[in-house]
Each structure stands twice: as C-alpha cells, then as structure tokens.
Structure 1
Amino acid sequence: MSQTVRGVIARSAKAPVELVDIVIPDPGPGEVVVAIQACGVCHTDLTYREGGINDEFPFLLGHEAAGVVESVGEGVTHVAAGDFVILNWRAVCGECRACKRGRPHLCFDTHNAKQKMTLTDGTELTPALGIGAFADKTLVAEGQCTKVDPAADPAVAGLLGCGVMAGIGAAINTGAVTRNDTVAVIGCGGVGDAAIAGANLVGAKTIIAVDTDNAKLNWARDFGATHTINARELDPVETIQDLTDGFGVDVVIDAVGRPETWKQAFYARDLAGTVVLVGVPTPDMRLDMPMIDFFSHGGSLKSSWYGDCLPERDFPTLISLYLQGRLPLEKFVTERISLDAVEESFAKMHGGQVLRSVVVL
C-alpha cells in the first residue's frame, strides 16, 4: 500500500518552500523506497525553487541523501531491505553508446523511478534530480542506490550524492590530479573545497585557493589549501603564476562557472595544463576570447558532470577513506537542521554562512 509521509515542496517559482504531506507508492519493478536519514541542502535545490531548472512545479526538493532501504520492487537485486545507501542522480542504463564504450560515468540515458510521488490530492510531484529527499521517505530507481558501510554518519555520507562528489571528482577523475601536481581552485564553497580535499588526498604539492571571501579562504585551508588568494585584493592569474615560478599550475578547477572565472582558469594554467569547469554557468553566459590563445596554450579544457563519478565505484571508496580518517568529509557539515528549517537554510547558503546545512530525520 502507498504511505503518507512529510516532504518539503516548492509549489511555484520563488515562493517559500512548504512542509506538506506527500504520498509514496509501493515500489514497482526496479524501484526502491528509502527511509531518509539525512539530506544536505544544495544550491541546486534553491535553483529548483527559483524556477532556474524548469517549470515542472511542484518540486519535491532534496537530493544529497543517505538512508536505509525500506522495501524493494520486483526484480531488484542491487540492494535489499535494511541496506544503508547513498542516493545518486546518475543511475546508468548500461545500454547507451557511452556505457557500451566503457564510459558509464558519461551515460546518456540515466533513469529514475517510473511511478510518481504525489500530494495527497493526487497532484504529481517532480523530484529534484529524480530523488526528492527532503522527506521522511522517497521512491527511486534501483540504480540510484549505492550501498556503503553503515558505520558512516548519514549526514556526512549523503553529501557524496552531489556537491562533494562533484568537487572531489573534478580534481581526481576529470582533472586527473596526482602527486606533486600544482593545482588552483577558483571558488571555495562546498564544491571548490571538495576539489581541494580531493587534490590534497592524492598528494598535490601545491594547492592554491581563490575566492573573494576571507571566511571561505579559511575554510579552504582546513581542506588542504597551501596558499590562498583573495581575488578582490590580488590578480589571481598573476599571483598563481608568481607562486609557480611564472609557469602557472598543472590543473585549474573553476568551481564558480562564470566567464570571468573561466578566463582566469585558462590563463592561470601551465602551457600544457588542464582547465576543469565544474561550476554551472547559466544559459545566457558567453565567452569572447582570441582563438590564437586556445591554439598556443595547448593542454586540455574539460567539463565535469558530477565529478565524472561512477557511484558504485567511487562512493564506497570515499566512505572507506572517510572512516579511516584520510578524507575529512565531516568538515563539510556546518549545521544539522530539521525538515522544517529548509527555507532558513537557503538564506544562510545564499549569504555564504554555511558550507552545508544538513537535514537530519
């Protein structure tokens, strides 16, 4: 039978979110009901609320989540009731051209649960990133659940579901940062600090953090930045070059996603260096640069979707490193809040007061 639980929805663009009753159907074939234990408040959820993703309101918000599998539908073999899982929004298909070429992290046909969660009046909900985890329980596709060590704190583990994985993966998977590399990260919010943590984990010798907020630069030091640059006070490109004997760094990660920061990233790298764009631009943004600069610099220009992660490969490994004390994921959790405090947490996030507020159920 279906069940009624609490959930946080965005009913219309820019309106405050609401905590309401929602209806979760029994899992169908290939589907799983997960009892949510914790869910991070990500900027993407705010973008949904603002109408910046699409207009398929009402949205059931929340996607950086961990919890316990409550029940599974027909044919589910990947997880079982009682498993502790992290939810992800890239349930790969295994059949598209990317998957068949051995690149499932680039899957072109990721999927979600087929059934719809609803309001009590039957209105269908659109779950954020196909998850919808600001709720006591949610319905997802089997492939959206990744089993990990249950010793992990759910408030910490769930953050791998989006922003933290995006940053770590941008450094390790997309940027291929390795020992003795020099790295710069532009933008030191949650994603940028995760990139710094990832670069530190694999042994980068120099990690330069760039931001306009000294509080965020202090956070960056906690995650392993060896140098910091306040871009309001110093020219980032010139300063990065000064810190690297005039050459620039091996890898620059743009965690902001604006034309001006991408240009800084481009010119702050070494001649054969790599630029990784993991910050998300808006559709109206444009670049105007001399083509000769692209030709003369060489190297690689990459975009990173979800840190080019493969959840079943990356989540268990990163949780293991966290439990060993080698990856300080717990430092991303600024505060733990209740389900009725999401709207307030959006204001704190927008004001740069938190790395992550995490709803704990």
Structure 2
Amino acid sequence: MTVTPDIAVVVIGRNEGARLVASLASLQGVVSRIVYVDSGSTDDSLQAASDAGAQVVELDLSVPFTAARARNAGFAALDPVPEFVQFIDGDCMVEPGWIASGLAALAAHDDMGIVTGWRAEVDPDASVYNGLADFEWHRPAGDIDVCGGDLIVRSKVFLEVNGFNAGLIAGEDEEFCIRVAKAGWRLHRLPEKMTKHDADMMRFGQWWQRAVRAGHAYAQVSMLHPEYSRRNRLRILVFGAILPLIALFGLTFAPWLLVPVVLLYLLSYVRTVRGLQSEGLAPDKARHQSVFLSLSKVPNLIGMLTYYWRRLRNRDMVLIEYK
C-alpha cells in the first residue's frame, strides 16, 4: 500500500480500548504521520497508540476536556504542518481507499476546504440505538453546510478559521464547518464510505445522554450562530416543552386539550415514519426509530436547558458523555 506523503491524521480518544487499536490499525501504511491525542484515559490507550507508531499527546488534566480542544492539540503537534489533515475519533476505522479519494477531490477543486464521506456503524443491528446512529450518519452527497468530525481539511483553512472552538462540549464539528463556509470555502460530501464507527450503544440511558448532549450543542452553537438548526430547535421547544405543558394544563383544567395534543404527536410520528421510509429505511425500522426520534425532543430540551443554566450561573461547560 502506498503511503500518502502530504497528509497527517489526528486521532482523538479516551478509554476507547480495542476500538482505538482497530482505528490505528486502519491507518497503517496509509499515512506517514499519526497523532493520537488522549483525554485522560485510564486504560492502555497511550501504550496502544505508542505501539502503533503514533505521536502521543496527553491533554492537561487541569483543563476541562473537549473534542475540540483535543483536535486543536493534535493539529498543533504537527511539525511541519502538512497540506491536509484527516481528523477522526478513536472509535472509528478509516475505510480502505477513503483518504486517496478525499485528497483527489480536494486536488481537483481549489475552492473546497473540507471533504467528508459516509460514516457507518460497525454493528447497526446490535441495538436500535446503533441503528439510529447508523441512519444519522448516511446523509446526501454533494455540497453541504455542515458535517461530523470525520473530515479532511486543508491546513491553511484550519489556520484561517483558528481551528475548532475549544469551549464547545458538543457540536464543535458543525460549528467549525459553519465558520469554514463563512470564510468562503466549499464543504463537500463524497458518495463513498469513509469510516466505520463503533457507537456501542446498548442501553437506553446511553441513547438518552447522547440526546441530551445534542440538545446542549443546539443551544450552545446557536449562541454563536443564531441561524444554526433553527427548525430543530423549534421542534424541540414545541414537542419537548409547549405541548407537554398544554397537556398538563389540560389534565388539570381542560381535558379536551389532550385531543389536539395527542393528534399533533401522532401527526409528527406519521410524518417521521414517512420521511424515514422515503430516505430508504425499511418500514419496520422506520416505525421503530420514529418512536425514539419523537421521544428525543425531551432529552434534547434537557440538554438545551442545561446549557442555559450553566451559562446563567457562569459554570464550566463540562462534557456530557454517553460511553
């Protein structure tokens, strides 16, 4: 396998164990430089990264961890700075041929600042929660507004926008993309497999915490970019707060109000099922996943309120972890 000389890979992780070993193994012989940034692991992640030939960076334990801070530290450790950098999480494996495809796209389009592809779950059928994540990753190809943290970026673009916002505990990847786009660069998703991700979500509590984190991201990123996910934030307020309050009022004072509330939830569920089916999801999976997508508005709201409460009280934005 030919080593690509003008790109380095930054891998971030914390207690990923075997997932990190698999991630680093997927990069062997593909790139000449790998930087692994560790956020306080208590397992053997540091040794595994060293054994794989990666340059290891340990984050200062006195400062709150964020994925953004880890990615920035990984980029800062690159000396000399390569023309391109691939960022991935330590629970992801790079698909064969992906980096070559991404670099080819960037070489062919000078106005393209970021290129990404399709992420997929290692075992989407292991749980409904893994299945939800797998479907979430598979977005349409072409020019895009935002993407996740698995991406190839031009180093000059990374430097131009001052990297990731280290103060964000979630949504830092999409916020980074917003600033890249505002700087005049195109973002593009290729219709190709990019990484395999191991969410390993087997419990309802894990899914709930992940949804809380997503809500926190909606609120925090929207404070920086008010246009960010307006529709999602509105749906969270309507289905996670307003309708439940109307239902509570109806139970106490006007039972007839429960009828329109139930009908609105039912209509939303049916529309979600149809939307998932139109995107290619099997009917049974669409019905199943729609239950969780409808329910997710509650933990999303909790995440948003958590952000506003922390901000009001000037508290640190500490991580919300699901693994």
TM-score, normalising length: structure 1: 0.29
Higher strand share: 1
More helix by share: 2
